[in-house]
Amino acid sequence: MNEALDRLAKQLDLGAPSQERLRLAFGHACTLRVKHLLEEPAVLACLAALGQYLDGTLPRAELEATATTAMRLANHHQGSKSIDGCGHAAVSATYAVANALCGKAVQAAEYAAYASVYGQGGYGAVADPASFQPEFAWQVDCLARLAAQHAPA
């Protein structure tokens, strides 16, 4: 768990309805960092749809439908077929996308951090809390930067 991120999210009242765009932007940023771990074209399409929504080129109704699709894909992910054992990373990255689309930014960040660390070092890295620190620091910095950009003028 990224305690610094949790504190910042509380400080920003990230769960408030008025912070939806910030939640979506932060979830999108986190998932882009693990995009290379996604193995299913349909999940990549869901991630692209979130970017399109943030760019203003995808209607709200399509975002909601895509969020439902992404969660279904995550819940039915079979893991990786590759021999390198990165299945956990692919599954976690898929859950990161699904949570980002649902506006669950902190959960998306958690899944993305796990996917990133697992993808770099496997189970040994995940078992070492210090392995998460670079990703956790990036997440806090990213949310702070995005919050500054989304702050009312």
pLDDT tens per residue, range 67-119: 999 999 998 866 555 544 445 788 999 999 999 999 999 999 999 999 999 88
Q: What is the pLDDT of residue 118?
A: 85
Do residues 105 and 9 make contact, with C-beta atoms less than 8 angstroms apart? yes
The whole-number average pLDDT for the span 109-134 is 82
- Distance of alpha carbon 135 from alpha carbon 78, whole angstroms: 26
The whole-number average pLDDT for the span 49-76 is 96
Q: What is the pLDDT of residue 83?
A: 47
The whole-number average pLDDT for the span 33-61 is 97
Q: Name the pTM for this structure.
A: 0.91
- Distance of alpha carbon 75 from alpha carbon 8, whole angstroms: 29
- Which two three-digit tokens encode residue 110? 């958690």
> Of the given ranges (16-20, 62-66, 87-91), which has the lowest mean pLDDT?
87-91
Q: Which of the two residues, 124 and 59, has the higher pLDDT score?
A: 59
Q: What is the pLDDT of residue 88?
A: 76
Do residues 115 and 39 make contact, with C-beta atoms less than 8 angstroms apart? no
Neighbour count for residue 107 (Cβ, 10 Å): 17
- Read off the amino acid at residue 89: A
Q: Over 90: is that where the pLDDT of 17 sits?
A: yes
Do residues 74 and 95 make contact, with C-beta atoms less than 8 angstroms apart? yes
Do residues 149 and 13 make contact, with C-beta atoms less than 8 angstroms apart? no
